[in-house]
Structures are given as C-alpha cells and as structure tokens.
Chain A
Amino acid sequence: NAGVTQTPKFQVLKTGQSMTLQCAQDMNHEYMSWYRQDPGMGLRLIHYSVGAGITDQGEVPNGYNVSRSTTEDFPLRLLSAAPSQTSVYFCASSYALAGAHFQYFGAGTRLSVL
C-alpha cells in the first residue's frame, strides 16, 4: 500500500544544475500536484494536473516544469536550480471528483541549492 512515493528524499544541487523530482502514486488518482513548503509560508502550489496529458500552473510556477504522460507519474523538473528553490517539496494526489476534497501527500523531498 505505497500511496504517494517521492524520490529522492534529500538532494543538494549547485546553482545552475538541473534535476528531476520524481512522484508516483498507485491509487489511480486523476489529480496530482506539487507544492513547496517554506518557513512561515505554508504550502504553495507549483503545478498541478487533472489527468494524463493535462498540466497547469499553480501559484509559484517559475523555474519549474512538469509533464504527465501517465496517470501514475508526475515529475517536477528544475531546469537551472537557484538558491531561492531551496525548499521542501511535496507531491499530492486525489480523485478529481467534487466529493473527494482531500489530497494524499508524499513524504517530501528536501532540496538545497548552493
């Protein structure tokens, strides 16, 4: 019963490097999203997807790309990492139904950009 799996758990990057944060869910959820958590800021939505092949921007999308080629996977790409992207990243998923109003979260990826 894996739920939402995020890899890696920790990552250190140098400014300008690129990397992909992986997210996979095994609950056949249509809706997936990425958040970042910063001190005093709560969780802020980066990108989201309502189904395979469909993605859209959230509140803080700059510097991040996403794609959704399958229902299960929703990777987040940092093309050129910046120190401002140091944060804890959470992936979440849920059914895209009006009654399914809460999301399941992964354990997070702690990213440091030097």
Chain B
Amino acid sequence: DQQVKQNSPSLSVQEGRISILNCDYTNSMFDYFLWYKKYPAEGPTFLISISSIKDKNEDGRFTVFLNKSAKHLSLHIVPSQPGDSAVYFCAARIYIQGAQKLVFGQGTRLTINP
C-alpha cells in the first residue's frame, strides 16, 4: 500500500528550463508535505515543505504546489541548474500515537543537461 507515489523514476531537463516533479498521495491525514534532495553517497537533505492548509510555498527557485482535492503535489524548479541533478523524494508527515512519521515516495532522478 504505497501511500505516497512518485510515478516518474527519472526526468531530464535542459539547463535554464523549468523542472516539474510530481507526487501523489492517498492518506488525507497527512499534515505536512516535504521534498528532500539526495546526492549520491549522501543522506537526503530537506529542500522545501508545505502545510496541508496552504496551496503554495516558494523559496527562491523552488516552489511547491499542493492540490488537496486531487491529492497531488508538485515541485517546480526554475531556472534549472546543473547542480540540481539529484534524486528528489517527496514525503508526507503523519502523527500516529504522538509520534511524527514520514512516508516517502520512491524518488525521481532529475538530470539537468547543459
């Protein structure tokens, strides 16, 4: 039962263009959604998040959009840069018995071509 899904295993984008990474979820009890970025041989690092009560959050070149009715969120990177090449994980937070838990998607490998 995959509660958080990233259906695109990989994405290739030209440098300077917009990168759009997508994520779908099934559990309406998630209260925060997060994006993590992961380089090879490193741990995931937090990138940006959005509360379930908002529909957009922006931080520099990164914007996350949340469509609660569709249970869908997306990460926009504009303009894309070579350093953005990494694996991006979508994650959703839920509180169960007083403990926060993150449920991760499968990840999307983003490649920015010069």
A residues contacting B by CB (< 8 A) are 4, 31, 35, 40-45, 48, 50, 56, 58, 90, 92, 94, 96, 98, 101-108
Contacts and interface: CB of A to CB of B under 8 A. Distances in A.
A42 B41 contact: no
B45 A101 contact: no
B25 interface: no
Given A42-B4, A42-B106, A107-B43, A101 B100 contact: yes
Given A45-B101, A56-B99, A106 B43 contact: yes
21 contacts: A4-B43, A42-B4, A42-B6, A42-B104, A42-B105, A42-B106, A42-B107, A43-B89, A43-B91, A43-B104, A56-B97, A94-B100, A98-B95, A101-B49, A101-B93, A103-B102, A105-B43, A105-B44, A105-B45, A107-B42, A107-B43
A50 B95 CA distance: 12
B41 A101 contact: no
A3 B28 CA distance: 32
A104 B105 CA distance: 17
Interface string B7-46: 0010000000000000000000000101010000111111
Nearest to A42: B104
A105 B38 CA distance: 10
Q: Most chain-A Cβ atoms within 10 A of its Cβ — which of B89, B93, B95, B102?
A: B102
